[in-house]
Amino acid sequence: MRIWIRKTLVAGLVAMAFAPAAAMADGGTIVFSGRIVEPTCAASGQRIGDAQGADAPRHYRCSEAANPTPGQLAQSYALSVSDTVGTPLASDPLIVYFGQYLSAQPKLVTQTYD
């Protein structure tokens, strides 16, 4: 019986030790830190135009000349372009301002590296 009480007491203390951390994260700030360790590249206007009409993401490779690193292969990525109409972005004040400034509907361009 004593062992069961001790185990229950220890389990309760452990649970109470972790409870404040979960409660503080509910309304607090979560900070991420890190760095990008893989080389990236910019998508050209031509590639964005080609991907805009595609039903599925188009696959491309970064140019070797953009960031020449001896012995390193060109990074490949998938490029997709979608409208912001009908998404939560359509009501975002910054996106609305940007669309009015350009007199065009903004597009969401996503590069996903392989």
Question: What's the whole-model pTM score?
Answer: 0.53
Asked whether residue 24 is assigned to any structural domain, the reply reads: no
Cα–Cα distances (Å) from 21 to 7, 25, 44, 74, 87, in that order, read 22, 6, 45, 43, 34
Asked whether residue 70 is assigned to any structural domain, the reply reads: yes
Asked whether residue 75 is assigned to any structural domain, the reply reads: yes
Low pLDDT (below 70) residues in the chain: 1-27, 38-39, 63-74
What is the structure's pLDDT at 39? 64
What is the structure's pLDDT at 101? 92
Asked whether residue 104 is assigned to any structural domain, the reply reads: yes
Asked whether residue 40 is assigned to any structural domain, the reply reads: no
Asked whether residue 34 is assigned to any structural domain, the reply reads: no
Asked whether residue 95 is assigned to any structural domain, the reply reads: yes
What's the total number of domains in the chain? 1
Q: Which domain holds residue 104?
A: 45-113
Residue 64 tokens read as 């070797």
Asked whether residue 50 is assigned to any structural domain, the reply reads: yes
What is the structure's pLDDT at 97? 92
What is the structure's pLDDT at 23? 45
4: helix, coil or strand?
helix
